[in-house]
Amino acid sequence: MIKGPTGIVLSVIIILVAFSACSKESNPAVPGAPEEDVITIVDRNAVVRIGLLSFTPQKHLYVSSTVGSFKCFLGVSIDPFEEAISGEIMKFTGEEDTLEFTPPGADESSELDIKKVRIELSDANAGGHLLVGPGKKSMRPYRGTLTLILEGENVLAVNTLPLEDYLLGVVPAEMDPSWPEEALLTQALVSRTYAIFNINRYDGRGFDLSDDDRSQRYGGVSVESPETTEVVLDTVNKIITFEDRLAVVVFHNETSGQTAGNLDIWPHSGDIPYLAGTSEIMGVMDFSDGGHYNEWSNSATFDELREALNGDGETFVGEYLSSITVLGKSDNGRVQTVDILGEKNPVVDAMTFISVLNRRIEEDFAPSNQFIITLENDGYRFTGSGKGHGVGLNQWGTFQRASNTQGYEFILQQYFQGTEISEIPTTGIEVVHNPKLDTIR
Protein backbone atom coordinates (compact mmCIF):
# COMPACT_ATOMS: atom_id res chain seq x y z
CA MET A 1 0.00 0.00 0.00
CA ILE A 2 1.27 3.46 -0.88
CA LYS A 3 1.47 5.63 2.20
CA GLY A 4 0.31 9.20 1.66
CA PRO A 5 -0.23 12.17 3.94
CA THR A 6 -3.67 12.96 5.20
CA GLY A 7 -3.49 16.62 4.33
CA ILE A 8 -5.79 18.09 1.74
CA VAL A 9 -4.84 19.60 -1.61
CA LEU A 10 -2.94 22.84 -1.22
CA SER A 11 -5.00 25.35 -3.16
CA VAL A 12 -3.79 28.84 -3.92
CA ILE A 13 -6.22 30.87 -5.94
CA ILE A 14 -4.71 33.49 -8.20
CA ILE A 15 -6.86 35.55 -10.49
CA LEU A 16 -5.34 36.45 -13.84
CA VAL A 17 -7.05 38.68 -16.35
CA ALA A 18 -7.02 37.25 -19.89
CA PHE A 19 -7.97 39.33 -22.93
CA SER A 20 -9.54 37.94 -26.08
CA ALA A 21 -8.50 39.16 -29.52
CA CYS A 22 -11.90 38.08 -30.81
CA SER A 23 -15.05 38.89 -28.84
CA LYS A 24 -18.49 37.30 -29.12
CA GLU A 25 -19.69 40.49 -30.81
CA SER A 26 -17.04 40.44 -33.54
CA ASN A 27 -17.51 36.74 -34.29
CA PRO A 28 -20.62 35.16 -32.76
CA ALA A 29 -19.48 31.66 -33.82
CA VAL A 30 -16.42 31.81 -31.56
CA PRO A 31 -16.97 32.39 -27.83
CA GLY A 32 -14.71 35.07 -26.40
CA ALA A 33 -12.01 34.19 -23.90
CA PRO A 34 -13.14 34.22 -20.27
CA GLU A 35 -12.36 37.33 -18.30
CA GLU A 36 -10.62 35.36 -15.58
CA ASP A 37 -8.51 32.25 -15.17
CA VAL A 38 -8.50 30.58 -11.80
CA ILE A 39 -5.17 28.88 -11.08
CA THR A 40 -5.00 26.20 -8.42
CA ILE A 41 -1.68 24.83 -7.20
CA VAL A 42 -1.99 21.07 -6.69
CA ASP A 43 0.63 19.49 -4.46
CA ARG A 44 2.42 16.19 -5.15
CA ASN A 45 0.69 14.78 -2.08
CA ALA A 46 -2.81 15.65 -3.24
CA VAL A 47 -5.73 13.93 -1.57
CA VAL A 48 -8.90 13.27 -3.55
CA ARG A 49 -12.52 12.76 -2.52
CA ILE A 50 -14.52 10.26 -4.57
CA GLY A 51 -18.32 10.13 -4.65
CA LEU A 52 -19.09 6.41 -4.50
CA LEU A 53 -21.98 4.40 -5.98
CA SER A 54 -22.14 6.78 -8.97
CA PHE A 55 -22.51 9.51 -6.32
CA THR A 56 -26.10 8.36 -5.82
CA PRO A 57 -27.29 8.81 -2.21
CA GLN A 58 -28.75 5.67 -0.62
CA LYS A 59 -31.44 5.34 2.03
CA HIS A 60 -29.20 2.97 3.99
CA LEU A 61 -25.42 2.45 4.01
CA TYR A 62 -23.61 -0.35 5.79
CA VAL A 63 -20.03 0.04 7.01
CA SER A 64 -17.42 -2.43 8.29
CA SER A 65 -13.70 -3.20 7.86
CA THR A 66 -11.62 -6.08 6.55
CA VAL A 67 -8.94 -6.09 9.28
CA GLY A 68 -8.68 -4.34 12.64
CA SER A 69 -11.09 -1.91 14.26
CA PHE A 70 -12.64 1.26 12.89
CA LYS A 71 -13.99 4.43 14.45
CA CYS A 72 -16.85 6.81 13.70
CA PHE A 73 -16.71 10.56 14.32
CA LEU A 74 -19.44 13.21 14.27
CA GLY A 75 -18.51 15.89 11.74
CA VAL A 76 -15.04 17.22 12.48
CA SER A 77 -14.94 15.88 16.04
CA ILE A 78 -11.65 14.31 17.17
CA ASP A 79 -13.33 11.93 19.62
CA PRO A 80 -15.16 8.90 18.17
CA PHE A 81 -18.73 8.19 19.18
CA GLU A 82 -18.46 4.51 18.23
CA GLU A 83 -15.79 1.89 17.56
CA ALA A 84 -16.16 -1.62 16.15
CA ILE A 85 -13.93 -4.50 15.10
CA SER A 86 -13.64 -6.05 11.65
CA GLY A 87 -16.66 -8.14 10.78
CA GLU A 88 -19.02 -6.01 12.82
CA ILE A 89 -21.40 -3.96 10.69
CA MET A 90 -22.78 -0.49 11.38
CA LYS A 91 -25.87 0.83 9.63
CA PHE A 92 -26.51 4.47 8.74
CA THR A 93 -29.91 5.70 7.56
CA GLY A 94 -30.90 9.02 6.07
CA GLU A 95 -33.79 10.86 7.70
CA GLU A 96 -35.02 14.43 7.49
CA ASP A 97 -32.35 16.75 8.91
CA THR A 98 -30.26 13.97 10.49
CA LEU A 99 -28.43 10.68 10.12
CA GLU A 100 -29.63 7.69 12.08
CA PHE A 101 -27.17 5.12 13.42
CA THR A 102 -27.67 1.44 14.23
CA PRO A 103 -24.75 -0.10 16.21
CA PRO A 104 -23.39 -3.57 15.36
CA GLY A 105 -25.79 -6.30 16.49
CA ALA A 106 -28.54 -3.85 17.46
CA ASP A 107 -32.08 -3.70 16.07
CA GLU A 108 -32.91 -0.13 17.00
CA SER A 109 -31.37 3.04 15.65
CA SER A 110 -30.81 6.43 17.22
CA GLU A 111 -30.62 9.94 15.78
CA LEU A 112 -27.16 11.49 15.60
CA ASP A 113 -28.44 15.08 15.17
CA ILE A 114 -25.79 15.69 12.54
CA LYS A 115 -25.52 15.51 8.74
CA LYS A 116 -21.96 14.23 8.34
CA VAL A 117 -20.07 11.26 9.79
CA ARG A 118 -16.38 10.44 9.27
CA ILE A 119 -15.15 6.84 9.47
CA GLU A 120 -11.51 5.82 9.84
CA LEU A 121 -9.51 2.70 10.56
CA SER A 122 -8.18 2.66 14.12
CA ASP A 123 -4.77 1.54 12.82
CA ALA A 124 -4.26 2.64 9.23
CA ASN A 125 -1.04 0.60 9.02
CA ALA A 126 -2.66 -2.73 9.95
CA GLY A 127 -3.35 -3.62 6.30
CA GLY A 128 -7.12 -3.37 6.53
CA HIS A 129 -9.63 -1.45 4.47
CA LEU A 130 -12.99 0.10 5.15
CA LEU A 131 -16.06 -1.51 3.63
CA VAL A 132 -19.18 0.35 2.52
CA GLY A 133 -22.27 -0.44 0.47
CA PRO A 134 -26.06 -0.16 0.28
CA GLY A 135 -26.46 -3.71 1.59
CA LYS A 136 -24.63 -6.06 3.94
CA LYS A 137 -23.69 -8.30 1.01
CA SER A 138 -22.77 -5.48 -1.37
CA MET A 139 -20.08 -3.72 0.68
CA ARG A 140 -16.81 -3.06 -1.17
CA PRO A 141 -13.34 -2.36 0.30
CA TYR A 142 -11.66 1.03 -0.07
CA ARG A 143 -8.36 2.58 0.98
CA GLY A 144 -8.37 5.80 2.99
CA THR A 145 -11.32 7.12 4.96
CA LEU A 146 -15.08 7.39 4.42
CA THR A 147 -17.42 10.31 4.94
CA LEU A 148 -21.19 9.83 4.98
CA ILE A 149 -23.13 12.97 4.04
CA LEU A 150 -26.87 13.47 4.44
CA GLU A 151 -28.48 14.60 1.17
CA GLY A 152 -32.20 15.11 1.53
CA GLU A 153 -33.29 11.96 3.33
CA ASN A 154 -30.55 9.77 1.86
CA VAL A 155 -26.86 9.16 2.53
CA LEU A 156 -23.96 9.84 0.15
CA ALA A 157 -20.70 7.91 0.62
CA VAL A 158 -17.42 9.72 -0.10
CA ASN A 159 -14.02 8.01 -0.11
CA THR A 160 -11.04 10.27 0.74
CA LEU A 161 -7.54 9.00 -0.03
CA PRO A 162 -4.15 10.03 -1.50
CA LEU A 163 -4.09 10.51 -5.26
CA GLU A 164 -1.67 7.64 -5.89
CA ASP A 165 -3.79 5.23 -3.82
CA TYR A 166 -6.83 6.33 -5.80
CA LEU A 167 -5.09 5.49 -9.08
CA LEU A 168 -4.55 1.90 -7.90
CA GLY A 169 -8.32 1.47 -8.20
CA VAL A 170 -8.70 3.51 -11.40
CA VAL A 171 -6.28 2.02 -13.93
CA PRO A 172 -7.64 -1.57 -13.64
CA ALA A 173 -11.22 -0.24 -13.71
CA GLU A 174 -10.50 1.68 -16.91
CA MET A 175 -8.22 -0.77 -18.72
CA ASP A 176 -7.93 -4.57 -18.73
CA PRO A 177 -4.87 -5.48 -16.61
CA SER A 178 -3.98 -8.18 -19.15
CA TRP A 179 -3.36 -5.57 -21.85
CA PRO A 180 0.25 -4.73 -22.83
CA GLU A 181 2.31 -2.84 -20.26
CA GLU A 182 2.77 0.15 -22.59
CA ALA A 183 -1.00 0.55 -22.79
CA LEU A 184 -1.32 0.42 -19.00
CA LEU A 185 1.48 2.98 -18.59
CA THR A 186 -0.36 5.27 -20.99
CA GLN A 187 -3.58 4.95 -18.99
CA ALA A 188 -1.80 5.63 -15.70
CA LEU A 189 -0.40 8.94 -16.96
CA VAL A 190 -3.68 10.03 -18.48
CA SER A 191 -5.71 9.07 -15.39
CA ARG A 192 -3.34 10.90 -13.03
CA THR A 193 -3.46 14.04 -15.18
CA TYR A 194 -7.24 13.83 -15.52
CA ALA A 195 -7.72 13.44 -11.76
CA ILE A 196 -5.55 16.44 -10.91
CA PHE A 197 -7.37 18.68 -13.37
CA ASN A 198 -10.77 17.63 -12.02
CA ILE A 199 -10.09 18.09 -8.30
CA ASN A 200 -13.04 20.08 -6.89
CA ARG A 201 -15.28 19.25 -9.88
CA TYR A 202 -18.16 18.40 -7.50
CA ASP A 203 -17.00 20.42 -4.53
CA GLY A 204 -20.50 21.74 -3.90
CA ARG A 205 -21.53 18.22 -2.92
CA GLY A 206 -18.44 17.47 -0.87
CA PHE A 207 -16.29 15.47 -3.30
CA ASP A 208 -13.97 15.88 -6.28
CA LEU A 209 -14.68 13.06 -8.73
CA SER A 210 -17.31 10.38 -9.23
CA ASP A 211 -16.50 6.66 -9.40
CA ASP A 212 -18.22 6.19 -12.76
CA ASP A 213 -17.79 7.42 -16.32
CA ARG A 214 -18.90 10.94 -15.45
CA SER A 215 -15.32 11.24 -14.18
CA GLN A 216 -13.28 8.06 -14.54
CA ARG A 217 -14.13 4.62 -13.23
CA TYR A 218 -12.87 3.72 -9.78
CA GLY A 219 -13.45 0.31 -8.19
CA GLY A 220 -11.48 0.54 -4.97
CA VAL A 221 -9.38 -2.33 -3.62
CA SER A 222 -11.46 -5.09 -5.20
CA VAL A 223 -10.32 -4.27 -8.76
CA GLU A 224 -6.61 -3.75 -8.03
CA SER A 225 -4.13 -6.01 -9.82
CA PRO A 226 -0.34 -6.51 -9.67
CA GLU A 227 0.09 -5.36 -13.28
CA THR A 228 -1.72 -2.05 -12.86
CA THR A 229 -0.28 -1.39 -9.41
CA GLU A 230 3.19 -1.70 -10.93
CA VAL A 231 2.53 0.90 -13.64
CA VAL A 232 1.08 3.34 -11.10
CA LEU A 233 4.17 2.94 -8.94
CA ASP A 234 6.47 3.27 -11.96
CA THR A 235 4.87 6.58 -12.98
CA VAL A 236 4.43 8.26 -9.58
CA ASN A 237 4.23 12.06 -10.01
CA LYS A 238 4.38 11.81 -13.81
CA ILE A 239 1.82 13.92 -15.66
CA ILE A 240 1.06 15.28 -19.12
CA THR A 241 1.79 18.98 -19.67
CA PHE A 242 1.48 21.52 -22.45
CA GLU A 243 3.68 24.62 -22.41
CA ASP A 244 4.66 23.90 -18.79
CA ARG A 245 1.08 23.67 -17.53
CA LEU A 246 -1.07 20.66 -16.78
CA ALA A 247 -2.77 19.45 -19.95
CA VAL A 248 -6.54 19.03 -20.09
CA VAL A 249 -6.68 15.37 -21.05
CA VAL A 250 -9.69 13.14 -21.62
CA PHE A 251 -10.15 9.61 -22.93
CA HIS A 252 -12.77 7.26 -24.30
CA ASN A 253 -13.18 3.56 -24.94
CA GLU A 254 -13.44 3.23 -28.69
CA THR A 255 -13.87 5.19 -31.92
CA SER A 256 -13.48 4.42 -35.61
CA GLY A 257 -10.90 5.93 -37.93
CA GLN A 258 -10.60 9.39 -36.40
CA THR A 259 -10.87 10.72 -32.86
CA ALA A 260 -13.05 13.78 -32.30
CA GLY A 261 -11.82 17.27 -31.50
CA ASN A 262 -12.81 18.97 -28.26
CA LEU A 263 -14.94 21.52 -30.16
CA ASP A 264 -16.98 18.68 -31.66
CA ILE A 265 -18.21 17.67 -28.21
CA TRP A 266 -17.79 20.79 -26.08
CA PRO A 267 -18.37 23.61 -28.60
CA HIS A 268 -17.52 26.40 -26.15
CA SER A 269 -14.29 24.88 -24.80
CA GLY A 270 -11.97 26.97 -26.98
CA ASP A 271 -9.00 26.11 -29.19
CA ILE A 272 -6.94 23.32 -27.60
CA PRO A 273 -4.38 22.20 -30.21
CA TYR A 274 -3.58 18.85 -28.58
CA LEU A 275 -7.30 17.90 -28.48
CA ALA A 276 -8.02 18.67 -32.13
CA GLY A 277 -8.48 14.99 -33.08
CA THR A 278 -6.16 12.55 -34.78
CA SER A 279 -6.28 9.75 -37.34
CA GLU A 280 -6.08 6.15 -36.20
CA ILE A 281 -4.66 5.18 -39.59
CA MET A 282 -0.90 4.90 -40.00
CA GLY A 283 0.26 3.47 -43.32
CA VAL A 284 -1.70 0.25 -43.87
CA MET A 285 -2.67 0.00 -40.20
CA ASP A 286 -5.97 1.19 -38.76
CA PHE A 287 -5.52 1.02 -35.00
CA SER A 288 -9.26 1.37 -34.44
CA ASP A 289 -9.97 -1.94 -36.21
CA GLY A 290 -11.30 -4.94 -34.32
CA GLY A 291 -13.28 -3.12 -31.66
CA HIS A 292 -16.50 -4.32 -30.07
CA TYR A 293 -18.59 -1.21 -30.82
CA ASN A 294 -18.28 -0.67 -34.56
CA GLU A 295 -22.08 -0.82 -34.78
CA TRP A 296 -24.75 -1.00 -32.10
CA SER A 297 -28.52 -0.58 -31.86
CA ASN A 298 -30.90 -0.75 -28.88
CA SER A 299 -34.47 0.29 -28.18
CA ALA A 300 -36.55 1.16 -25.12
CA THR A 301 -40.19 2.04 -24.51
CA PHE A 302 -41.36 5.47 -23.39
CA ASP A 303 -42.02 4.06 -19.91
CA GLU A 304 -38.54 2.53 -19.67
CA LEU A 305 -36.93 5.76 -20.83
CA ARG A 306 -38.98 7.94 -18.46
CA GLU A 307 -38.14 5.72 -15.50
CA ALA A 308 -34.44 5.79 -16.40
CA LEU A 309 -34.35 9.56 -16.90
CA ASN A 310 -36.17 10.17 -13.61
CA GLY A 311 -33.43 8.23 -11.82
CA ASP A 312 -31.01 11.17 -12.18
CA GLY A 313 -31.50 14.78 -11.19
CA GLU A 314 -29.96 16.17 -14.37
CA THR A 315 -32.38 14.30 -16.66
CA PHE A 316 -35.49 14.24 -14.46
CA VAL A 317 -38.52 14.55 -16.74
CA GLY A 318 -41.41 14.00 -14.30
CA GLU A 319 -44.74 12.19 -14.68
CA TYR A 320 -44.65 11.77 -18.45
CA LEU A 321 -42.22 11.74 -21.40
CA SER A 322 -43.34 13.29 -24.71
CA SER A 323 -40.21 13.33 -26.85
CA ILE A 324 -36.43 13.13 -27.02
CA THR A 325 -34.77 15.35 -29.62
CA VAL A 326 -31.17 15.88 -30.67
CA LEU A 327 -30.56 19.63 -30.39
CA GLY A 328 -26.95 19.95 -31.53
CA LYS A 329 -24.50 17.85 -33.55
CA SER A 330 -20.88 18.35 -34.51
CA ASP A 331 -19.77 18.38 -38.14
CA ASN A 332 -18.69 14.74 -37.83
CA GLY A 333 -22.07 13.60 -36.55
CA ARG A 334 -21.53 13.44 -32.80
CA VAL A 335 -24.47 14.52 -30.66
CA GLN A 336 -23.71 17.50 -28.41
CA THR A 337 -27.00 18.27 -26.64
CA VAL A 338 -30.34 16.52 -26.15
CA ASP A 339 -33.76 18.07 -25.41
CA ILE A 340 -36.01 15.92 -23.21
CA LEU A 341 -39.64 17.04 -23.27
CA GLY A 342 -42.18 15.93 -20.67
CA GLU A 343 -43.65 17.33 -17.48
CA LYS A 344 -40.18 18.86 -17.09
CA ASN A 345 -37.99 19.91 -20.01
CA PRO A 346 -34.31 19.30 -19.23
CA VAL A 347 -31.70 20.07 -21.87
CA VAL A 348 -28.57 18.03 -21.20
CA ASP A 349 -25.24 17.34 -22.84
CA ALA A 350 -25.08 14.08 -24.76
CA MET A 351 -22.59 12.35 -22.45
CA THR A 352 -24.76 12.99 -19.39
CA PHE A 353 -27.77 11.68 -21.31
CA ILE A 354 -26.22 8.42 -22.45
CA SER A 355 -24.54 7.89 -19.09
CA VAL A 356 -27.96 7.92 -17.41
CA LEU A 357 -29.40 5.47 -19.94
CA ASN A 358 -26.42 3.15 -19.54
CA ARG A 359 -26.77 3.13 -15.76
CA ARG A 360 -30.55 2.95 -15.55
CA ILE A 361 -31.58 0.74 -18.49
CA GLU A 362 -28.57 -1.49 -19.11
CA GLU A 363 -24.83 -1.13 -19.50
CA ASP A 364 -23.89 0.00 -23.01
CA PHE A 365 -27.49 0.69 -23.99
CA ALA A 366 -26.17 3.81 -25.78
CA PRO A 367 -22.38 3.47 -25.65
CA SER A 368 -21.37 6.65 -27.48
CA ASN A 369 -22.47 10.15 -28.49
CA GLN A 370 -22.36 9.16 -32.17
CA PHE A 371 -25.96 8.02 -32.61
CA ILE A 372 -29.31 8.70 -34.24
CA ILE A 373 -32.74 8.38 -32.62
CA THR A 374 -35.69 6.90 -34.49
CA LEU A 375 -39.27 6.69 -33.27
CA GLU A 376 -40.76 3.23 -32.86
CA ASN A 377 -44.32 2.21 -31.97
CA ASP A 378 -43.96 2.59 -28.21
CA GLY A 379 -40.55 4.21 -27.79
CA TYR A 380 -37.24 5.05 -29.44
CA ARG A 381 -34.40 3.15 -31.09
CA PHE A 382 -30.82 4.36 -30.64
CA THR A 383 -28.35 3.35 -33.37
CA GLY A 384 -24.69 4.32 -33.47
CA SER A 385 -21.02 3.40 -33.32
CA GLY A 386 -18.11 3.66 -30.91
CA LYS A 387 -18.05 3.98 -27.13
CA GLY A 388 -17.51 7.25 -25.28
CA HIS A 389 -17.22 10.88 -26.39
CA GLY A 390 -14.44 10.20 -28.91
CA VAL A 391 -12.02 12.92 -27.73
CA GLY A 392 -8.42 12.38 -26.67
CA LEU A 393 -7.04 8.95 -25.88
CA ASN A 394 -8.77 6.04 -27.60
CA GLN A 395 -8.34 3.10 -25.20
CA TRP A 396 -8.91 0.44 -27.87
CA GLY A 397 -6.52 2.25 -30.20
CA THR A 398 -4.00 2.33 -27.34
CA PHE A 399 -4.30 -1.44 -26.98
CA GLN A 400 -3.77 -1.91 -30.71
CA ARG A 401 -0.79 0.44 -30.78
CA ALA A 402 0.86 -1.16 -27.74
CA SER A 403 0.27 -4.60 -29.27
CA ASN A 404 2.20 -3.35 -32.31
CA THR A 405 5.28 -2.32 -30.28
CA GLN A 406 4.46 1.38 -29.83
CA GLY A 407 5.73 2.72 -26.49
CA TYR A 408 3.64 4.83 -24.14
CA GLU A 409 5.57 8.05 -24.92
CA PHE A 410 4.85 7.62 -28.64
CA ILE A 411 1.20 6.68 -28.01
CA LEU A 412 0.63 9.79 -25.93
CA GLN A 413 2.06 11.93 -28.73
CA GLN A 414 -0.44 10.45 -31.19
CA TYR A 415 -3.45 11.37 -29.07
CA PHE A 416 -2.15 14.58 -27.43
CA GLN A 417 0.17 16.05 -30.03
CA GLY A 418 2.67 18.59 -28.78
CA THR A 419 2.36 17.66 -25.10
CA GLU A 420 5.17 16.51 -22.83
CA ILE A 421 5.59 14.03 -19.99
CA SER A 422 6.66 15.95 -16.87
CA GLU A 423 6.99 15.45 -13.15
CA ILE A 424 4.88 17.38 -10.67
CA PRO A 425 7.30 19.97 -9.25
CA THR A 426 8.00 19.87 -5.54
CA THR A 427 6.23 23.22 -5.35
CA GLY A 428 3.12 21.82 -7.05
CA ILE A 429 1.61 22.04 -10.52
CA GLU A 430 -0.48 24.93 -11.81
CA VAL A 431 -3.99 23.87 -12.85
CA VAL A 432 -5.87 26.45 -14.92
CA HIS A 433 -9.67 26.60 -14.82
CA ASN A 434 -12.07 28.90 -16.60
CA PRO A 435 -15.66 28.59 -17.86
CA LYS A 436 -14.47 27.31 -21.23
CA LEU A 437 -12.10 24.62 -19.98
CA ASP A 438 -14.57 23.47 -17.36
CA THR A 439 -17.02 22.34 -20.02
CA ILE A 440 -14.58 19.51 -20.78
CA ARG A 441 -15.29 16.31 -18.85
**393 and 254 assigned to the same domain:** yes
**208 and 134 assigned to the same domain:** no
- The predicted model gives 341-370 an average pLDDT of 94
Whole-model pTM: value is: 0.86
Whether 275 is in a domain gets the answer no
Residue 5 has pLDDT above 60, yes or no: no
Reported as a pLDDT band with limits 50, 70 and 90, residue 38 is: very high
Q: How large is the angle between the packed helices 181-197 and 226-234, nearest 10 degrees?
A: 60
Torsion of CA 360, 362, 368, 372, to 10 degrees: -90
Whether 76 is in a domain gets the answer yes
pLDDT for position 32: 44
Residue type at position 380: Y
| Close Cβ partners of 396 (under 8 Å, ≥ 6 residues apart) | 253, 254, 255, 288, 290, 291, 292
CA–CA distance, 120 with 100 (Å, rounded to integer): 18
pLDDT for position 35: 56
The DSSP code for 205 is G
Residue 9 has pLDDT above 60, yes or no: no
Reported as a pLDDT band with limits 50, 70 and 90, residue 306 is: very high
Quick: pLDDT tens for 88-144.
999 999 999 999 999 999 999 999 999 999 999 998 888 899 999 999 999 999 999
**65 and 139 assigned to the same domain:** yes
Whether 285 is in a domain gets the answer no
Residue 30 has pLDDT above 70, yes or no: no
**252 and 393 assigned to the same domain:** yes
Whether 160 is in a domain gets the answer no
Smallest CA-to-CA distance from 355 within 211, 214, 208 is with 214
**65 and 146 assigned to the same domain:** yes
pLDDT for position 126: 85
Reported as a pLDDT band with limits 50, 70 and 90, residue 256 is: confident
Burial (CB < 10 A; 0-12, 13-18, 19+), residue 306, is: buried
Residue 327 has pLDDT above 50, yes or no: yes
Whether 219 is in a domain gets the answer yes
Reported as a pLDDT band with limits 50, 70 and 90, residue 328 is: confident
Whether 269 is in a domain gets the answer no
**Residue-range definition of the domain harbouring residue 418:** 174-262+389-439
